[in-house]
Homo-oligomer: A and B are copies of this chain.
Amino acid sequence: MREFARARDWEQFHTPKNLAMALAGEVGELVAEFQWLTADESRRPAPDELARIRGELADVTLYLVRLADVLGVDLVEAAHDKLDENEQRYAADRYRGSARKAPHQT
């Protein structure tokens, strides 16, 4: 991604602000793939749907990695830290099987 941006002189556009927007745009496309599917249909997307979803997942990944890179954030380390935090915050025995208690807006 660094080389890709540099070769096109796109580093000027890759501010964290702009990359966060690009990420939001791609996640919008990903969500759109699932919007009319039932829960069950979303578990078993048709081959052409899965191919499109895979492409959108890739777009999201590329912008996420690029955004973390320009900010100097180690994504894997950050994710592990958050997972540890969530382990504490949502004690397994207390939150078992409860959708209403499942985290949102963490």
Chain A residues with a Cβ under 8 A of chain B: 1, 4, 7-10, 12-13, 15-18, 20-40, 42-43, 45, 50, 53-55, 57-62, 64-65, 67-68, 70-71, 73, 75-76, 78-79, 81-83, 86-87, 90, 92, 95-97, 99-100, 102, 104-106
Partner of A39, one of B26, B33, B38, B55: B38
Q: Are A57 and B38 in contact (CB under 8 A)?
A: no
Number of copies of this chain in the oligomer? 4
A12 to B13, CA, bound (A): 21
Give chain B residues whose Cβ lies under 8 Å from the Cβ of A58.
75, 78-79, 81-83
Give chain B residues whose Cβ lies under 8 Å from the Cβ of A39.
15, 17-18, 38-39
Which chain B residue shows the least CB distance to A16?
B42
Known: A8-B95, A82-B62. A42 touches B25 (CB 8 A): no
Q: Considering the complex of A and B, which 3 residue pairs feature the smallest CB-CB distances, nearest first?
A: A28-B28, A25-B32, A58-B82
